[in-house]
């Protein structure tokens, strides 16, 4: 058994790539010890919500559990609590919906529970953590390159959050593959790399998609939100490269990189 584990340690970190790609909290946990920076991608909608909130000047505190403990965490952080999309009220208008966050009153501190994006952020260990999505893909790629990430000396892992099947297992999600690929393609254009085969394939998927907005909107997750009455969330999430904000996890909260 030890020999098998040692062999796994040799191959799973994608060590030949300065930029790497994997899925979900387990992928983040596996790669975090082997990289200097972790980029979390959760297009529908944790990291999209983070960009919308941080653009307004809000500090966003990620939290991995969407249960009663989230309220305790928000109180401890002296932050407003973002609730589920359908739980927002006039008294508590902040939710995981990017559209709702855009319309809600400004709050300087927001606790944002998410079992996907927040769990990945928590799995990062000592790595620098960045929130990426389609809205800020070019800005993230540029920031990574300017700060020396994405090289063999300072590798970066881009983690697609994916969604969950009813049994709790990972459901790879098209929108997160495209979001990750967008950031990786932008990094490569900034002469970052080399990209691991996994990262290069994610970038190629993005570059080969003729209409990213249509793909995300027609994909399973997009259709789930649209049919559930949240088309504006999909619209905001597919605002490709409209944001120059790069949220970086600093002292437990996402804030705009300087």
Determine the structural domain holding residue 212 and report its residue range. Answer: 16-243
For residue 257, is it within any domain?
Answer: no
pLDDT at 170 > cutoff 70: yes
pLDDT at 5 > cutoff 70: no
For residue 251, is it within any domain?
Answer: no
For residue 258, is it within any domain?
Answer: no
Q: According to the model, what pLDDT value does residue 121 have?
A: 84
For residue 226, is it within any domain?
Answer: yes
What are residue 156's phi and psi, to 5 degrees? -125, 145
CATH code of the domain covering residue 43:
3.90.1560.10
Instruction: Give per-residue pLDDT as tens, 185-215.
Output: 999 999 867 999 999 999 999 999 999 999 9
What tokens appear for 13 in the block? 């970190």
pLDDT at 75 > cutoff 60: yes
For residue 70, is it within any domain?
Answer: yes
What tokens appear for 45 in the block? 């909608």
For residue 8, is it within any domain?
Answer: no
Distance of alpha carbon 70 from alpha carbon 61, whole angstroms: 11
Q: How many domains does the chain have?
A: 1
For residue 163, is it within any domain?
Answer: yes
**For the stretch 155-179, what's the b/e string if a residue is b when 16 or more beta carbons lie within 10 angstroms of its beta carbon?**
bbbbbbbbbeeeeeebeebbbbbbb
pLDDT at 76 > cutoff 50: yes
For residue 3, is it within any domain?
Answer: no
């Amino acid at each position: 058994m030890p020999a098998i584990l040692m062999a796994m340690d040799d191959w799973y970190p994608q060590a030949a790539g300065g930029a790497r790609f994997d899925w979900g909290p387990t992928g983040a946990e596996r790669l975090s010890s082997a990289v200097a920076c972790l980029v979390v991608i959760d297009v529908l909608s944790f990291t999209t919500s983070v960009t919308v909130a941080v653009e307004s000047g809000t500090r966003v505190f990620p939290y991995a559990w969407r249960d009663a403990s989230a309220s305790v965490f928000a109180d401890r952080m002296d932050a407003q609590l973002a609730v589920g999309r359908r739980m927002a009220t006039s008294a508590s208008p902040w939710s995981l919906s990017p559209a709702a966050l855009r319309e809600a009153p400004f709050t300087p501190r927001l606790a944002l529970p998410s079992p996907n994006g927040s769990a990945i952020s928590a799995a990062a260990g000592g790595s620098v953590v960045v929130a990426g999505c389609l809205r800020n893909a070019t800005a993230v790629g540029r920031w990574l390159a300017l700060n020396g990430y994405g090289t063999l000396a300072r590798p970066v892992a881009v983690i697609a959050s994916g969604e969950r099947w009813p049994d709790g297992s990972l459901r790879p999600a098209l929108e997160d593959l495209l979001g990750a690929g967008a950031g990786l393609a932008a990094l490569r254009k900034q002469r970052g790399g080399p990209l691991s085969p996994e990262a290069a394939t994610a970038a190629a998927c993005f570059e080969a998609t003729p209409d990213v907005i249509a793909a995300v909107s027609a994909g399973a997750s997009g259709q789930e939100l649209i049919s559930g009455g949240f088309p504006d969330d999909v619209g905001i999430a597919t605002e490709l490269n409209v944001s120059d904000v790069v949220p970086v996890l600093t002292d437990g909260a996402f804030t705009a990189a300087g």
